Amino acid sequence: MKYPLNRKQDGISLVGLMFILAIVAVLAVLAMKVVPAFVEYNGIQRAIVSAKAAGITVREIQGAFDKQAEVGYITSINGKDLEITKNGEEVVVTFAYQKKIPLVGPASLLLEFTGSTASQAPKKPGV
């Protein structure tokens, strides 16, 4: 059986495949560098909620956070970096920090994280 010489070929070329693999590799490396920062951020969020429940005074809350940070491998902030205020009867614990992730050469990625234990009142419909 003979095949026609001008048959249309389907599929991806080798150059196209290499280009797509390069993009996927760059995205994978970026994800491997960024995901741990978000995991740590979620750990900090859980730690401030736990620390708020564990203490009444500023020092107790800071100490409880430091204990949670040690167990949760939190290195970006410590208890002294927390801002602890009283909003009426509620104690509010807030934090803010920056995480600089080096990428290639002089290029880096700066992530700014903030969080709080302040309860947000649900909005009423139509307001």
Residues 36-75 have pLDDT tens digits of: 999 999 999 999 999 999 988 999 999 999 999 999 999 9
Q: What is the per-residue DSSP string for 70-107?
A: HHTT--S--GGG-EEEEETTEEEEEEEEEEEEEEETTE
The tens digit of pLDDT for each residue in 76-97 reads 999 999 999 988 888 999 999 9
32 φψ region: left (φ > 0), alpha (ψ -120 to 50), beta (else): alpha
pTM for this entry: 0.78
Looking at residue 6, its pLDDT comes to: 67
Fill in the DSSP letter of residue 2.
P
Fill in the DSSP letter of residue 48.
H
Beta bridge partners of 110: 100
